[in-house]
Amino acid sequence: MKRVISLLVLFVFSFSLLTINVKATEVTTSAMGTVLYCVDNNSVLYGKNENVKMKMASTTKLMTALLTIEYAEKHNNPIVTFKKSMIEEGSSMYLKVNEKVTLKDLCVGMLLPSGNDAATASAIKIAGSKEKFAELMNKRAKQIGMENTNFVTPSGLDDDNHFSTPYDMALLMKECSENKEFMKICGSKSMTVSFVSPKDKIVTYQNHNRLLSLYENCIGGKTGYTESAGRCLVTIAKKNAITLIAVTLGDKNDWKDHINLYDYGFSKVKTKVFKEETLIQQLVGGVKDKTNIKLKEKVFILNNKSDKIERKIFLSPFAYCPIKKSDKAGVINYYRNGKLLEKNIIKYQEDIEYKETEKSFWDFIKELFNG
Protein backbone atom coordinates (compact mmCIF):
# COMPACT_ATOMS: atom_id res chain seq x y z
CA MET A 1 0.00 0.00 0.00
CA LYS A 2 2.87 2.34 0.90
CA ARG A 3 4.48 1.54 -2.46
CA VAL A 4 1.27 2.47 -4.34
CA ILE A 5 0.97 5.78 -2.43
CA SER A 6 4.63 6.56 -3.10
CA LEU A 7 4.23 5.92 -6.82
CA LEU A 8 1.07 8.05 -6.87
CA VAL A 9 2.86 10.93 -5.12
CA LEU A 10 5.78 10.61 -7.54
CA PHE A 11 3.38 10.70 -10.52
CA VAL A 12 1.53 13.79 -9.24
CA PHE A 13 4.83 15.53 -8.47
CA SER A 14 6.21 14.71 -11.94
CA PHE A 15 3.02 15.92 -13.63
CA SER A 16 3.20 19.16 -11.64
CA LEU A 17 6.76 19.76 -12.82
CA LEU A 18 5.72 19.07 -16.40
CA THR A 19 2.85 21.56 -16.13
CA ILE A 20 5.15 24.22 -14.69
CA ASN A 21 7.63 23.74 -17.52
CA VAL A 22 4.94 24.08 -20.18
CA LYS A 23 3.58 27.29 -18.68
CA ALA A 24 7.05 28.78 -18.46
CA THR A 25 7.28 28.74 -22.26
CA GLU A 26 4.08 30.75 -22.68
CA VAL A 27 3.85 34.55 -22.66
CA THR A 28 1.69 36.44 -20.16
CA THR A 29 0.99 40.09 -19.39
CA SER A 30 -0.50 42.03 -16.51
CA ALA A 31 -2.72 44.03 -18.89
CA MET A 32 -6.51 44.06 -18.89
CA GLY A 33 -6.34 43.52 -22.63
CA THR A 34 -3.49 42.42 -24.91
CA VAL A 35 -2.80 41.47 -28.48
CA LEU A 36 0.35 40.51 -30.35
CA TYR A 37 -0.32 40.91 -34.06
CA CYS A 38 1.79 39.84 -37.06
CA VAL A 39 1.53 42.44 -39.81
CA ASP A 40 2.97 40.15 -42.48
CA ASN A 41 0.20 37.54 -42.41
CA ASN A 42 -2.48 39.37 -40.38
CA SER A 43 -2.45 36.79 -37.61
CA VAL A 44 -2.89 37.06 -33.85
CA LEU A 45 0.05 35.39 -32.11
CA TYR A 46 -1.25 36.06 -28.61
CA GLY A 47 -4.44 37.55 -27.25
CA LYS A 48 -6.06 38.31 -23.94
CA ASN A 49 -9.44 40.07 -24.05
CA GLU A 50 -8.30 41.33 -27.44
CA ASN A 51 -11.86 42.00 -28.63
CA VAL A 52 -13.20 43.50 -25.38
CA LYS A 53 -14.08 47.21 -25.50
CA MET A 54 -11.84 49.31 -23.23
CA LYS A 55 -10.62 52.86 -22.80
CA MET A 56 -7.40 53.51 -24.71
CA ALA A 57 -6.38 56.97 -23.42
CA SER A 58 -3.83 58.85 -25.55
CA THR A 59 -3.16 55.97 -27.91
CA THR A 60 -6.19 57.62 -29.54
CA LYS A 61 -3.72 60.13 -30.98
CA LEU A 62 -2.54 57.50 -33.45
CA MET A 63 -5.75 58.14 -35.40
CA THR A 64 -5.62 61.90 -34.85
CA ALA A 65 -2.03 62.11 -36.07
CA LEU A 66 -2.69 59.87 -39.08
CA LEU A 67 -5.60 62.03 -40.27
CA THR A 68 -3.56 65.17 -39.58
CA ILE A 69 -0.54 64.02 -41.60
CA GLU A 70 -2.72 62.92 -44.51
CA TYR A 71 -4.54 66.27 -44.49
CA ALA A 72 -1.24 68.15 -44.30
CA GLU A 73 0.16 66.22 -47.27
CA LYS A 74 -2.90 67.03 -49.38
CA HIS A 75 -3.10 70.72 -48.39
CA ASN A 76 0.55 71.84 -48.40
CA ASN A 77 0.99 71.56 -44.62
CA PRO A 78 -1.18 74.51 -43.47
CA ILE A 79 -0.17 76.88 -40.66
CA VAL A 80 -2.28 76.74 -37.50
CA THR A 81 -2.82 79.72 -35.20
CA PHE A 82 -3.42 78.47 -31.66
CA LYS A 83 -6.66 79.83 -30.16
CA LYS A 84 -8.31 79.80 -26.74
CA SER A 85 -10.83 77.24 -28.00
CA MET A 86 -7.94 74.83 -28.60
CA ILE A 87 -6.71 74.82 -25.00
CA GLU A 88 -7.05 71.37 -23.44
CA GLU A 89 -6.30 69.89 -20.03
CA GLY A 90 -3.68 67.22 -19.43
CA SER A 91 -0.41 66.50 -21.25
CA SER A 92 0.72 69.28 -23.55
CA MET A 93 3.24 70.58 -26.08
CA TYR A 94 2.71 73.92 -24.29
CA LEU A 95 1.26 76.01 -27.07
CA LYS A 96 0.28 79.59 -26.22
CA VAL A 97 -2.57 81.62 -27.69
CA ASN A 98 -1.65 83.24 -31.05
CA GLU A 99 1.45 81.09 -31.54
CA LYS A 100 1.72 79.55 -34.99
CA VAL A 101 2.95 76.11 -36.07
CA THR A 102 2.30 73.81 -39.03
CA LEU A 103 -0.01 70.81 -38.95
CA LYS A 104 2.97 68.45 -39.13
CA ASP A 105 4.47 70.25 -36.13
CA LEU A 106 1.25 69.45 -34.27
CA CYS A 107 1.82 65.78 -35.14
CA VAL A 108 5.19 65.99 -33.41
CA GLY A 109 3.44 67.55 -30.42
CA MET A 110 0.78 64.86 -30.15
CA LEU A 111 2.95 61.80 -30.90
CA LEU A 112 6.04 62.61 -28.80
CA PRO A 113 4.99 64.59 -25.67
CA SER A 114 1.36 63.45 -26.20
CA GLY A 115 0.02 66.99 -26.33
CA ASN A 116 -3.73 67.22 -25.88
CA ASP A 117 -3.47 70.83 -27.04
CA ALA A 118 -1.85 69.68 -30.29
CA ALA A 119 -4.56 67.07 -30.92
CA THR A 120 -7.38 69.53 -30.24
CA ALA A 121 -5.79 72.27 -32.35
CA SER A 122 -5.44 69.87 -35.26
CA ALA A 123 -9.04 68.66 -34.95
CA ILE A 124 -10.46 72.19 -34.98
CA LYS A 125 -8.22 73.30 -37.85
CA ILE A 126 -9.21 70.33 -40.04
CA ALA A 127 -12.89 69.84 -39.18
CA GLY A 128 -13.98 73.02 -37.39
CA SER A 129 -14.75 71.26 -34.10
CA LYS A 130 -13.80 68.22 -32.04
CA GLU A 131 -17.21 66.69 -32.71
CA LYS A 132 -16.86 66.98 -36.49
CA PHE A 133 -13.33 65.60 -36.32
CA ALA A 134 -14.60 62.60 -34.33
CA GLU A 135 -16.88 61.83 -37.27
CA LEU A 136 -13.82 61.70 -39.52
CA MET A 137 -12.06 59.45 -37.02
CA ASN A 138 -14.97 57.00 -36.90
CA LYS A 139 -15.34 56.99 -40.67
CA ARG A 140 -11.68 56.05 -41.06
CA ALA A 141 -11.97 53.44 -38.30
CA LYS A 142 -14.68 51.64 -40.28
CA GLN A 143 -12.52 51.72 -43.40
CA ILE A 144 -9.66 50.11 -41.50
CA GLY A 145 -11.91 47.42 -40.05
CA MET A 146 -12.03 48.66 -36.44
CA GLU A 147 -15.45 47.16 -35.73
CA ASN A 148 -15.46 47.67 -31.95
CA THR A 149 -14.19 51.24 -31.74
CA ASN A 150 -15.86 54.61 -31.21
CA PHE A 151 -13.98 57.90 -31.04
CA VAL A 152 -15.36 60.94 -29.23
CA THR A 153 -12.27 63.04 -28.51
CA PRO A 154 -9.11 63.66 -30.60
CA SER A 155 -6.90 63.49 -27.51
CA GLY A 156 -8.18 60.37 -25.76
CA LEU A 157 -9.48 62.09 -22.63
CA ASP A 158 -12.05 59.92 -20.89
CA ASP A 159 -15.60 59.65 -22.18
CA ASP A 160 -17.99 56.76 -21.63
CA ASN A 161 -18.55 56.48 -25.38
CA HIS A 162 -14.85 56.64 -26.27
CA PHE A 163 -13.46 53.11 -26.52
CA SER A 164 -11.61 50.54 -28.60
CA THR A 165 -10.13 47.05 -28.28
CA PRO A 166 -6.53 45.79 -28.33
CA TYR A 167 -7.18 44.14 -31.70
CA ASP A 168 -8.66 47.28 -33.25
CA MET A 169 -5.72 49.36 -32.01
CA ALA A 170 -3.35 46.88 -33.69
CA LEU A 171 -5.20 47.42 -36.97
CA LEU A 172 -4.84 51.18 -36.49
CA MET A 173 -1.10 50.89 -35.85
CA LYS A 174 -0.76 48.79 -38.97
CA GLU A 175 -2.52 51.49 -41.01
CA CYS A 176 -0.27 54.17 -39.51
CA SER A 177 2.86 52.17 -40.33
CA GLU A 178 2.13 52.51 -44.04
CA ASN A 179 2.66 56.28 -43.88
CA LYS A 180 6.38 57.13 -44.04
CA GLU A 181 6.03 60.59 -42.51
CA PHE A 182 4.02 59.18 -39.63
CA MET A 183 6.65 56.53 -38.90
CA LYS A 184 9.46 59.08 -39.13
CA ILE A 185 7.82 61.10 -36.35
CA CYS A 186 6.62 58.34 -34.02
CA GLY A 187 9.90 56.45 -34.42
CA SER A 188 12.04 59.42 -33.33
CA LYS A 189 13.34 59.61 -29.77
CA SER A 190 13.21 63.40 -30.02
CA MET A 191 12.30 66.05 -32.60
CA THR A 192 12.78 69.81 -32.80
CA VAL A 193 9.98 72.17 -33.82
CA SER A 194 10.73 75.64 -35.16
CA PHE A 195 7.64 77.76 -34.61
CA VAL A 196 6.27 79.88 -37.47
CA SER A 197 5.51 82.53 -34.86
CA PRO A 198 7.32 83.59 -32.77
CA LYS A 199 10.15 82.87 -35.20
CA ASP A 200 12.75 82.62 -32.46
CA LYS A 201 10.89 79.88 -30.58
CA ILE A 202 12.51 76.48 -31.08
CA VAL A 203 11.53 73.54 -28.88
CA THR A 204 12.89 69.99 -28.77
CA TYR A 205 10.32 67.42 -27.66
CA GLN A 206 11.20 64.04 -26.16
CA ASN A 207 9.24 60.92 -27.07
CA HIS A 208 7.32 59.39 -24.15
CA ASN A 209 7.70 55.97 -25.80
CA ARG A 210 10.62 54.55 -23.81
CA LEU A 211 10.48 51.27 -25.72
CA LEU A 212 12.42 53.00 -28.52
CA SER A 213 15.39 52.93 -26.14
CA LEU A 214 14.59 49.78 -24.19
CA TYR A 215 14.06 47.48 -27.19
CA GLU A 216 16.33 47.81 -30.22
CA ASN A 217 13.78 46.47 -32.70
CA CYS A 218 11.03 48.92 -31.75
CA ILE A 219 10.36 51.36 -34.59
CA GLY A 220 7.46 53.38 -33.21
CA GLY A 221 4.26 53.54 -31.21
CA LYS A 222 2.21 55.63 -28.80
CA THR A 223 1.77 55.79 -25.05
CA GLY A 224 -1.38 56.65 -23.13
CA TYR A 225 -2.64 57.12 -19.59
CA THR A 226 -5.69 58.27 -17.70
CA GLU A 227 -6.69 57.29 -14.20
CA SER A 228 -9.63 55.21 -15.43
CA ALA A 229 -7.88 53.68 -18.48
CA GLY A 230 -4.60 52.98 -16.73
CA ARG A 231 -1.35 52.70 -18.66
CA CYS A 232 -1.90 52.02 -22.37
CA LEU A 233 0.76 51.26 -24.96
CA VAL A 234 0.74 50.49 -28.68
CA THR A 235 4.10 49.71 -30.29
CA ILE A 236 5.49 48.25 -33.49
CA ALA A 237 8.74 46.34 -33.95
CA LYS A 238 10.62 44.88 -36.90
CA LYS A 239 13.23 42.12 -36.95
CA ASN A 240 14.54 40.03 -39.84
CA ALA A 241 11.82 41.31 -42.19
CA ILE A 242 9.10 40.35 -39.67
CA THR A 243 6.86 43.15 -38.38
CA LEU A 244 4.88 42.73 -35.16
CA ILE A 245 2.53 45.03 -33.25
CA ALA A 246 1.96 44.79 -29.50
CA VAL A 247 -0.97 46.42 -27.70
CA THR A 248 -1.57 46.51 -23.96
CA LEU A 249 -4.46 48.39 -22.35
CA GLY A 250 -4.60 48.86 -18.58
CA ASP A 251 -1.10 47.52 -17.91
CA LYS A 252 1.10 48.48 -14.96
CA ASN A 253 4.12 46.67 -16.45
CA ASP A 254 3.76 47.72 -20.07
CA TRP A 255 7.45 48.17 -20.98
CA LYS A 256 8.40 44.74 -19.68
CA ASP A 257 5.30 43.12 -21.13
CA HIS A 258 5.96 44.50 -24.61
CA ILE A 259 9.55 43.23 -24.58
CA ASN A 260 8.35 39.78 -23.50
CA LEU A 261 5.64 39.80 -26.16
CA TYR A 262 8.13 40.64 -28.90
CA ASP A 263 10.67 38.08 -27.73
CA TYR A 264 7.92 35.48 -27.80
CA GLY A 265 6.55 36.58 -31.17
CA PHE A 266 9.83 36.79 -33.04
CA SER A 267 10.79 33.33 -31.79
CA LYS A 268 7.46 31.89 -32.90
CA VAL A 269 7.14 33.32 -36.41
CA LYS A 270 9.00 31.23 -38.98
CA THR A 271 10.23 32.45 -42.35
CA LYS A 272 11.47 31.20 -45.71
CA VAL A 273 14.45 33.26 -46.84
CA PHE A 274 15.80 33.46 -50.37
CA LYS A 275 19.21 35.01 -49.85
CA GLU A 276 20.75 37.66 -52.04
CA GLU A 277 22.44 36.16 -55.09
CA THR A 278 23.88 37.15 -58.48
CA LEU A 279 22.68 35.77 -61.81
CA ILE A 280 25.02 35.81 -64.82
CA GLN A 281 23.71 36.21 -68.34
CA GLN A 282 25.86 35.89 -71.49
CA LEU A 283 25.63 38.71 -74.05
CA VAL A 284 25.66 38.71 -77.85
CA GLY A 285 27.10 41.67 -79.74
CA GLY A 286 27.91 43.82 -76.74
CA VAL A 287 30.94 45.68 -75.42
CA LYS A 288 30.85 43.11 -72.60
CA ASP A 289 30.53 39.33 -72.81
CA LYS A 290 28.24 39.02 -69.82
CA THR A 291 26.20 41.00 -67.31
CA ASN A 292 25.53 40.43 -63.63
CA ILE A 293 22.02 40.71 -62.24
CA LYS A 294 21.77 40.90 -58.47
CA LEU A 295 18.66 39.54 -56.77
CA LYS A 296 17.79 41.10 -53.41
CA GLU A 297 17.00 39.01 -50.37
CA LYS A 298 13.36 37.96 -50.23
CA VAL A 299 11.59 36.86 -47.05
CA PHE A 300 8.21 35.14 -46.71
CA ILE A 301 6.29 34.43 -43.52
CA LEU A 302 5.23 30.80 -43.12
CA ASN A 303 1.62 30.41 -42.02
CA ASN A 304 2.13 26.95 -40.50
CA LYS A 305 4.61 24.09 -40.25
CA SER A 306 3.46 22.50 -43.52
CA ASP A 307 3.66 25.76 -45.46
CA LYS A 308 6.03 25.48 -48.44
CA ILE A 309 7.43 28.41 -50.43
CA GLU A 310 9.18 27.73 -53.75
CA ARG A 311 10.79 29.93 -56.39
CA LYS A 312 11.22 29.58 -60.16
CA ILE A 313 13.54 31.86 -62.15
CA PHE A 314 12.88 32.42 -65.84
CA LEU A 315 15.97 33.99 -67.43
CA SER A 316 17.36 33.32 -70.91
CA PRO A 317 21.02 32.09 -70.92
CA PHE A 318 21.94 34.91 -73.32
CA ALA A 319 20.66 38.29 -74.55
CA TYR A 320 21.26 40.51 -77.57
CA CYS A 321 22.82 43.95 -77.12
CA PRO A 322 22.23 46.77 -76.77
CA ILE A 323 20.38 46.53 -73.46
CA LYS A 324 19.19 49.33 -71.22
CA LYS A 325 19.17 49.57 -67.46
CA SER A 326 15.72 48.70 -66.05
CA ASP A 327 14.74 46.77 -69.20
CA LYS A 328 13.03 43.45 -68.51
CA ALA A 329 15.53 40.58 -68.30
CA GLY A 330 13.29 37.83 -66.94
CA VAL A 331 10.73 36.83 -64.31
CA ILE A 332 10.77 35.26 -60.85
CA ASN A 333 7.66 33.42 -59.69
CA TYR A 334 7.10 32.54 -56.02
CA TYR A 335 4.67 29.76 -55.10
CA ARG A 336 2.98 28.91 -51.81
CA ASN A 337 2.02 25.23 -51.66
CA GLY A 338 2.05 25.04 -55.46
CA LYS A 339 -0.08 28.15 -56.07
CA LEU A 340 1.35 31.35 -57.56
CA LEU A 341 1.96 33.78 -54.71
CA GLU A 342 3.96 36.58 -56.29
CA LYS A 343 5.44 37.49 -59.66
CA ASN A 344 8.47 39.78 -59.89
CA ILE A 345 10.14 41.24 -62.96
CA ILE A 346 13.93 40.82 -63.21
CA LYS A 347 15.49 44.00 -64.61
CA TYR A 348 18.90 44.76 -66.06
CA GLN A 349 21.06 46.85 -63.77
CA GLU A 350 23.38 48.47 -66.34
CA ASP A 351 23.46 49.88 -69.88
CA ILE A 352 25.48 47.81 -72.37
CA GLU A 353 26.07 49.15 -75.88
CA TYR A 354 26.17 47.19 -79.12
CA LYS A 355 29.60 46.33 -80.55
CA GLU A 356 30.39 45.28 -84.09
CA THR A 357 31.90 41.78 -84.20
CA GLU A 358 33.25 39.48 -86.88
CA LYS A 359 31.78 36.46 -85.14
CA SER A 360 28.48 35.20 -86.43
CA PHE A 361 25.55 34.33 -84.23
CA TRP A 362 26.20 30.63 -84.82
CA ASP A 363 29.85 31.04 -83.75
CA PHE A 364 28.61 32.47 -80.48
CA ILE A 365 26.18 29.60 -79.97
CA LYS A 366 28.96 27.06 -80.55
CA GLU A 367 31.21 28.78 -78.01
CA LEU A 368 28.36 28.96 -75.52
CA PHE A 369 27.61 25.23 -75.63
CA ASN A 370 31.22 24.09 -76.01
CA GLY A 371 32.18 25.81 -72.80
Q: Number of folded domains in the chain? A: 2
Residues identified as active-site = 58, 61, 114
End of a domain among 229, 247, 268? Answer: 268
The pLDDT of 121-128, averaged and rounded, is: 98
Element of type H or E holding 204: strand 202-206
The 8-class DSSP code of residue 322 comes to: P
The pLDDT of 283-300, averaged and rounded, is: 93
pLDDT(363) > 70: no
Same domain, 185 and 63: yes
Closest CA to 269 of 48, 51, 39: 39
Domain containing residue 186: CATH number: 3.40.710.10
Q: For 51-77, what is each residue's pLDDT tens digit?
A: 999 999 999 999 999 999 999 999 999
pLDDT(345) > 80: yes
The pLDDT of 78-97, averaged and rounded, is: 97
SS3 content of the chain, % helix, strand, coil (to 5): 35, 30, 35
pTM, rounded to two decimals: 0.79
The reply to whether 5 falls in a domain is: no
Same domain, 118 and 197: yes
Q: Do 129 and 152 touch, CB atoms closer than 8 A?
A: no
- Per-residue model confidence (pLDDT) at position 20: 30
| Cβ within 8 Å of residue 316, ≥6 positions away | 281, 330
The 8-class DSSP code of residue 129 comes to: S
Domain containing residue 332: CATH number: 2.60.410.10
| Chain centre distance of CA 11 | 47
- Per-residue model confidence (pLDDT) at position 355: 84
Could you give the C-alpha distances from 350 to 196, 278, 331, in angstroms and in order? Answer: 46, 14, 17
The strand pair at 277-284 and 318-320 is best described as: parallel
Q: CA-to-CA distance for 92 and 113, rounded, in angstroms? A: 7
Percent of the chain with pLDDT over 90: 83
Q: For 26-53, what is each residue's pLDDT tens digit?
A: 789 999 999 999 998 899 999 999 999 9
Higher pLDDT, 311 or 362: 311
The boundaries of the domain holding residue 55 are 33-268
Same domain, 280 and 264: no
End of a domain among 226, 251, 268? Answer: 268
pLDDT(103) > 50: yes
Percent of the chain with pLDDT over 70: 89
